[in-house]
């Protein structure tokens, strides 16, 4: 059996790290869906406030969405432009 090289170990750990980082993308999806559901309930209860509800939800959702991108960037950099391999 061949011994595990340093590069192989780094690549394996990077793949695990990338998988863990992608978990960050799930949260905003669930949150945005929940907010939209509650927004729909609010509009059903008070239809004249639809404009205000959508406007506020749009700003909140746009800010929340970028937090998912943080994890995505980390994952893609670990997979395709890994800076740690160059340190060996």
Partner 1 sequence: MLGYTWDIQVKIVKYTLIIMILIAAAAFMSFQEPRPFIYALIFGTLISILNFRNLALTLEKAVTMNPGHAQVYTSSKYFIRFFINAVVIFVCIKANYLNVLGAVLGLFTIKFVIIGTNLFTILFSKRIFKRKEEE
CB of 10 to partner 1, least distance (A): 18
Please identify which residue in 66, 86, 87, 88 interacts with partner 1, judged by CB under 8 A: 66
Which CB, 5 or 56, lies closer to partner 1?
A: 56
Decide if 27 contacts 64 (C-beta within 8 A).
Answer: no
Binding status of residue 19 toward partner 1 by CB under 8 A? no
Among 10, 11, 15, 61, binds partner 1 (CB under 8 A): 61
Binding to partner 1 by residue 38, rule CB under 8 A?
A: yes
- Distance between CA atoms of 49 and 45, rounded to whole angstroms? 9
CA distances from 58 to 15, 45, 52, 68, 79 (A): 34, 19, 10, 16, 32
Return residues touching partner 1 (CB under 8 A). Answer: 25, 28-30, 32-44, 50-51, 53-55, 57-59, 61-63, 65-66, 68-69, 72-73, 76-77, 80-81
């Amino acid at each position: 059996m061949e011994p595990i090289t340093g590069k192989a170990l780094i690549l394996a750990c990077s793949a695990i790290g990338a998988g863990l980082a992608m978990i960050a993308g799930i949260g905003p999806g669930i949150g945005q869906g929940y907010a939209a559901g509650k927004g729909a309930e609010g509009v059903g209860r008070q239809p004249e406030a639809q404009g205000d509800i959508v406007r506020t939800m749009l700003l909140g959702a746009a800010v929340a969405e970028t937090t998912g991108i943080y994890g995505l960037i980390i994952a893609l950099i670990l997979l395709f432009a890994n800076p740690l391999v160059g340190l060996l």
